[in-house]
Chains A and B, each alone.
Chain A
Amino acid sequence: MLSEEMIQEYIKSIPPIPEVVKECIDAINEGDLVKAALIASEDRALMTFLHNIVNKPIFGFRTDVKDAKQIFGVLGLSKAKQIIFSYYVLLLVPKSWEVFDFNSLQFQDFQARLIQHWEKILNFLKIEDRELANSITIIPASLIVCEMLFRPINETVRLLLERKNMSYEAILEKMTGKTLFQIASLIAKDWGFSQKVRTLIDKLSKDDATLLQDERMVLEYMRLLLIFEMSRPVMMQSGLSQMFELELPEDENITERFYSLMSE
């Protein structure tokens, strides 16, 4: 059985943001990509991550982007920040996954796809809010939270899922009263994300009429993006497609528009 205490303990166990990440983000916030590249090039692990992620097919660069300055240059300020945040999320990934049949490389693919698709969506919606752009980077943390929290009761939960059509999130909510996104929102607080982003993530599971129309629209698309990504073969094979309990959009036109956008 999961409990609120276990959630608190897990959040406490998350290590603080490494200095190199902080410095890089500060440089990006100052608008200095050259400085950010210099800082990043000092850290081999960060450079390996940047090289791997930037050269994923989803980003569509035709030649191998190797050098730190080159990497930050092609990414630009907004995406560079998202990728630095993604690096920090990646540091939380367990060496081996037990609950889900997943691995670190697949996790990086997931991060890259979310960033790239989210940018496409925000462009489509004509939204330039950088905070909103960065908010997508916190979502993959919920996969790790789910993996870590469910480990102690994995076998029992698997048997439960063989009998009943439930998501991990629904089980978590019944046991602790918290959704995965509410936990992700708590993590976002520790990472210094703004109240606006934290609120949006907190309310990602279902539509909330108290939010502004624009915010509801953003959440609708974010939900669709997650549902879309969770429908992919790799997510189905890993078991992660059973993770979230997301409210489905009522307006079919939005779904149609979204699918066309993703198919472009």
Chain B
Amino acid sequence: MKPILKQKIAFFYPTGFIDGENAIDIVSPLDVDYLKSIKPEGIFISLKKVVFFNKRGISLIIESLNSVRDKNGAIIGFCDYDIKKYKMIVEMFKGDMFFSLFDSADIVSLYIGDDISTFKEKKILVYNDKHEQKNQLALELYERGFAPIIAKNRADFLAKRKDVDLFIENSYLGNLDKTPTVFIKDNVIVYTLKNFVDSDISKKFDLTYHNNTLRVGFKVFLFDATEVSSINVHGVNFIAKLSIAGAEYGATIAMCGLNARKITEKLTHDLEDAGVAIYPGLKDLFDDEELLSEAQNSTSVAKKGKGINKQLISYLPVVAEAALKTIENLSGQKIKRNALKLQELISSNTESAFGVSIGFYGDIEGVLILIMEQDIAKKTCKILLEDENKEDDLLDALGEFVHIIGGKISQMLHKKGVKIDITMPRTFGSLKEVMSAQTKTKGAQIDMELEGKPLILFLTK
């Protein structure tokens, strides 16, 4: 069963019954190999559509997931259950639970993965019958930049529950001690380092992910060393190298939480010499308005290698066909194709139009941008939408939609012997945001029409 990847977390969605007969096929040996290769930060089994499970089935799944955890340090567990299922698992594995349980997939994303923007400014309430678990659940959230409310007891939890946006009740933290974890706050990528930072960091750090975030335009990266016991020359060299490599993209690497007990003066100077900005704590960095404004500008796509080249143009028909076919298949609408021009991005869309960019890299590199009106986006993404009236949901759905287009492009190019990978999609909530990200960047622009409204496909490097 293939997992669905969402912000560095792999989710499996089995349906029906889980027992000794079928558990091995839910996370099969092939899936285990795949998970080892993609190195997700978390792997979770959703029990949403599961009606029945027994200990044998759950144990077999855990056995498979453990082998990925042992290799990559991924956080593993179950989510999307009701209180009865939660109690059953706790009862089955009491005293021997090395995996995590989260009430819902949303709560998984709160603790693991890089996208916490959905929960920005949200009121979160934490409660667990076990005091130690309650504190751990809250502490992890503090570390990820949230300020959760902790319920004193069950009565307090029930009283406060109605006044919060999200509550965590039946969750259990297994081992979350993974180095380094990552999340995004105010367009700053925050890597949380723990324990001893040495040459191991080069093995555990997801360089592909880091490079992709550079490609889609993130500019500020912070290594939070608050929980680090010490950092040696190899750890410093690794971060210094990232800083030097990032300069090519105009990116800033910062570090916080260091002190004399953790790092020598010489190594601190080495970091500074490599252009690493040192801040006392996490708060100090987020108080630095100048740096944050730099991070906000990062909503642009990567500036390295502007323009378009002949090689990329030669693949334009494939890219265009894949995009059009996918839009037509999923929206059920016919697209009218107008002009193809090599130019800077020019749009006749209204200010409220949405945009999405997706980068691809490998045998060829480029960035594809799609711009469409909100009402067209609503129709196009109908299949992916649960609540079409929420603007955030619509933008997310459009992001997913463009990711599907990216997948199609990858598939079609693969048939021509061209191998590419695609980045996560980056969404833009207004035309202004898209345009400012593309100033003076030449590319191939295909103007199209869907129900008489402009739809733009822009391919650049």
A: residues with CB less than 8 A from B are 1, 3, 153, 155-156, 159-160, 162-166, 171, 174-175, 224, 227-228, 230-233, 236-237, 241-242, 248-249, 252, 255-256, 259
The 3 closest A-B pairs by CB, nearest first: A1-B332, A231-B16, A227-B16
Q: Does B382 contact A (CB under 8 A)?
A: yes
CB pair B25–A159 under 8 Å, yes or no, is no
Are B408 and A1 in contact, with the CB atoms below 8 A?
no
Kindly state the separation between the CA atoms of A153 and B403 in the bound complex, as whole angstroms: 17
* Chain A CB within 8 A of B407 CB: yes
Bound: A237/B31 CA distance, A:
12
Q: Is the CB of A3 within 8 A of B404?
A: no
Residues of B within 8 A of A249 (CB): 51
Asked if B384 contacts A156 (CB within 8 A), the reply is: no
In angstroms, Cα B329 to Cα A248, docked, is 30
Task: Using CB atoms, name the residue of chain A closest to B403.
Answer: A163
Q: Are A255 and B51 in contact (CB under 8 A)?
A: yes
Q: Tell me which residues from 298 to 335 in chain B have a Cβ below 8 Å from any Cβ of chain A.
A: 325-326, 328-332
Contact of A162 among B2, B329, B383 (CB under 8 A): B2
A45 to B384, CA, bound (A): 44
Residue contact A160 to B22, C-beta cutoff 8 Å: no
Is B404 a contact partner of A159 (Cβ separation < 8 A)? yes
CB–CB A159/B411 < 8 A? yes
Residue of A3, A237, A255 near B25 (CB, 8 A) is A237
Nearest A residue to B397, CB-CB? A164
Q: Check if B404 sits within 8 Å of A232, measured CB to CB.
A: no
Contact A232:B2 (CB < 8 A) given known A159-B404, A174-B383: no
Could you say which of B11, B15, B332, B403 contacts A230, with CB atoms under 8 Å apart?
B15
Check if A1 sits within 8 Å of B11, measured CB to CB: no
Within 8 Å CB of B18, what residues of A?
A: 231
In the complex, the answer to whether A156 meets B329 with C-beta atoms within 8 Å is: yes
Tell whether A259 pairs with B16 under 8 Å between CB atoms, given A1-B330, A165-B11, A233-B22.
no
Contact B46–A236 (Cβ < 8 Å): no
CA distance A3 to B22 in the complex (A): 35
Chain A to chain B contacts (Cβ below 8 Å), 14 pairs: A1-B329, A1-B330, A156-B329, A156-B330, A156-B408, A159-B404, A159-B411, A163-B384, A164-B400, A231-B16, A233-B25, A236-B26, A252-B84, A256-B52
Q: What 0/1 readout, one digit per residue, does chain B (378-418) give for beta carbons within 8 Å of chain A?
A: 00001110000000000000001001100110010000000
The reply to whether A231 and B4 form a contact with Cβ atoms under 8 Å apart is no
- Residues of A contacting B46 in the complex (Cβ-Cβ under 8 angstroms): 165
Find chain A residues with CB under 8 A from B382 CB: 174
Least CB separation from B333: chain A residue:
A1
Q: Report B185 CB to chain A, min CB distance, Å.
A: 25
